[in-house]
Amino acid sequence: MSLYAQRGVSAQKEEVHAAIQNLDQGLYPNAFCKLYTDFLTGDSNYINIMHADGAGTKSILAYIYWKETGDTSVWAGIAQDAIAMNLDDLLCVGIYDQILFSSTIDRNKAVITGDVLSVIINGTQNFFNTLKTFGVTIDFLGGETADVGDVVRTIAVNGTMTARWPKSKLITNDLIAPGQVIVGFSSYGQASYETAYNSGLGSNGLTSARHDVLAKEYAKKYPETFEPTLLDKVVYIGKNKVTDKINIPNFGEIEVGKLLLSPTRTYAPLVKQILSTHFDAVKGMIHCSGGGQTKCMKYLPGPMRLVKDNFLPVPPIFSLIQENSGANAREMYQVFNMGHRLEIFTDATAAIDLIEIAKGLGIEAQIIGRVETCETKELVLKGDFGTEIFNY
């Protein structure tokens, strides 16, 4: 059993998928998000969407860093995480503007102060203000902030996004087909709209990252940060403190805590440009979130083989996690994005233009793979780690 599973979480969310398998899949079953005809106005040319996501257990990392350093600013990053994990899912069905957002914050008032709430709520609005300068409009409708210490040990930061969008401007993944290439867009570095280096970690696999990297002393100091029934051998098994520093080429020394807490990069400014100028070239789009580099297989319209054999360089944060945990490549690529969190399926000629658009925003991108004919659904990952094959 993987360390991830021993900690009570699942990268593939098997039990969740089993629970929802009998639900209606919406108008476009292969789309990254569930979409329905616009029943609010009755216009059959539009769809409605309501989508929920959040920062996950990354908020526990923010809690530890805040307690250790007194720095409340990291909570603004948690606000961004909850937004980006929602927004970037919507991007993958073609929606990048005129969005409504409602937040849901559940806290244990005994350990999470009002100052923390203030940073999260104001950080939400500040992030929306930044996105608006890139033509991405999201209105903040407030939400629910509840003191539920009997339920939540620290804090959970989540949100819901709603939009109305024309069917003619949707990306449904129905056009993914053999002969296409896959362009990967880096999750790390510093995009032109970011204020600091982004480790690329995002908001998936943080239970594993936290326990694999941070030292056992945090289990003793902050027992409220983990499930008390977990075996000691899987709780904070790393060698690092949040204030340890690691040298990042071209960016200097950065604290481990800040690397783990890098706010999830949103690709909204990039996707808006791409869909505004190259909509017809985009045949499919995947947000490599839960499930990492295997996420793409859930949304294929039929039997085909995806081969990813030209990955972007693995950023230091993932090497640090793997060195601490001893996890093999198969588990790492199933849990983490490993360097790119957005994939676009397109033709080889259009790929050149998409890569140039990304370059203009300071985002590294390249063709990382291709789609081949196959009688079944198959994923092949190749790299310095060898070859890993997944059959579906």
Q: Is residue 230 part of a domain?
A: no
On the 0-12 / 13-18 / 19+ scale of CB atoms within 10 A, 12 is middle
Contact between residue 259 and residue 316 where contact means Cβ atoms under 8 Å apart: yes
Q: What is the pLDDT of residue 2?
A: 65
Q: Is residue 54 part of a domain?
A: yes
Which residue in the block uniquely carries the two structure tokens 């033709």?
347
Handedness of CA 309, 13, 220, 146 (dihedral sign): positive
When the pLDDT of each residue in the chain is averaged and rounded to a whole number, the result is 95
How many distinct structural domains can be found in the chain? 1
DSSP secondary structure letters along 21-79: TTS---S-TTSSS--EE-TTT--TTEEEEEEEEE-TTHHHHHHHHHHHH--TTHHHHHH
Q: What is the pLDDT of residue 230?
A: 95
CATH code for position 192: 3.30.1330.10
Q: Is residue 164 part of a domain?
A: yes
Nearest alpha-carbon partner for 184 in 293, 350, 355, 340: 340
Q: How far apart are alpha carbons 184 and 365 in whole angstroms?
A: 6
Handedness of CA 210, 379, 376, 296 (dihedral sign): positive
Contact between residue 386 and residue 332 where contact means Cβ atoms under 8 Å apart: no
Which residue in the block uniquely carries the two structure tokens 């909850």?
82
Q: How far apart are alpha carbons 41 and 233 in whole angstroms?
A: 55
Nearest alpha-carbon partner for 31 in 131, 215, 173, 158: 173
Q: Which residues contact 199 (CB under 8 A, 6 or more apart)?
A: 188, 254, 259, 260, 262, 315, 316, 317
Q: Is residue 31 part of a domain?
A: yes
Q: What percent of the chain has pLDDT over 70?
A: 95
Q: How far apart are alpha carbons 13 and 376 in whole angstroms?
A: 22
Between strands 46-54 and 36-37, the pairing is: antiparallel
Please list the ranges in the chain whose pLDDT falls under 50: none
CA separation (Å) from 61 to 52, 67, 218, 310? Answer: 21, 10, 11, 32
Q: Is residue 222 part of a domain?
A: no
% helix / strand / coil in the chain, to the nearest 5? Answer: 35, 25, 40
Using alpha carbons only, what angle is made at residue 39 by residues 33 and 42, rounded to the nearest 5 degrees? 130
Q: Is residue 143 part of a domain?
A: yes
Which domain range does residue 164 map to? 3-196+262-391
Q: Is residue 210 part of a domain?
A: no
DSSP secondary structure letters along 115-182: HHHHHHHHHHHHHHHHHHTTT--EEEEEEEEEE-TTT-SSEEEEEEEEEEEEGGG---STT--TT-EE
Q: Is residue 81 part of a domain?
A: yes
Nearest alpha-carbon partner for 78 in 103, 109, 108, 52: 103
Q: What is the pLDDT of residue 11?
A: 54
Which residue in the block uniquely carries the two structure tokens 């033509």?
135
Q: How far apart are alpha carbons 282 and 334 in whole angstroms?
A: 25
